[in-house]
Amino acid sequence: MVHEIGHMFGLKHCVFYDCVMNGSNHLEESKKRTFHLCPVCLRKLQSVVGFNIAERYKTLQETCESLSGRQFGEAAKWYEQAYNAIMQKYGNNYQKFIEEEKVSKSRVDSSLAKKTPETAKSKNSGSILQAKQNLDKQIDMYKDL
């Protein structure tokens, strides 16, 4: 079901890593699919939805711990490890980066609101590039997971 919800957010089948968005040809392949997004698909989803990755992992860990079953216990451990890896490597710097990104986005949004549609289009292309660069920085964090 998570795979299909990923499609609803515009994610295509993944060919990069072991990922919940990997395609499958039969039920056995679907059952063997991992429960989490790979770094590439996580970045895509984050660009569509906009969320703090560390907070997402912490919340998913807590949710899995509240559910029963072996699969949820394994998932909770994976999310805990992912959260700890981010916080160990980046700690408060990650939170600072997220806050700076929010401030930067709000500045861009407020300046776009003041511009004409023609000017906003050219300004928007710069903010898209900035967003891509910010997301590129975040995906670098997952190389250590």
CB within 8 A of 94, min separation 6: which ones? 54, 86, 87, 141
Dihedral-angle region of residue 21 (phi above 0 means left; psi in -120 to 50 means alpha; beta otherwise): alpha
Q: Which of the pair, 135 or 116, is modelled with greater confidence?
A: 135
* pLDDT band per the 50, 70, 90 thresholds, residue 114: low
Structure-model confidence comparison of residues 120 and 31, the more confident one: 31
**What integer is the mean pLDDT of 55-78?**
87
Give the pLDDT of residue 138: 65
pLDDT at 139 over 80: no
The H or E element spanning position 119 is: helix 117-140
- Which pLDDT band holds residue 120 (cuts at 50, 70, 90)? very low
Measure the CA–CA gap between 52 and 44, rounded to whole angstroms: 13
One-letter identity of residue 28: E
Residue 62 has pLDDT above 90, yes or no: yes
Q: Which residues are catalytic?
A: 4
- What pTM was computed for the model? 0.58
CA end-to-end span of the chain, whole Å? 25
| pLDDT (0 to 100) of residue 20 | 87
pLDDT confidence band for 123 (50 / 70 / 90): very low
pLDDT tens readout for residues 20-49: 888 877 787 777 777 788 888 888 888 888
Query: Both tokens of residue 64?
Result: 């899995």
How far apart are the C-alpha atoms of 17 and 37, rounded to whole Å? 9
Q: What's the pLDDT at 61? A: 92
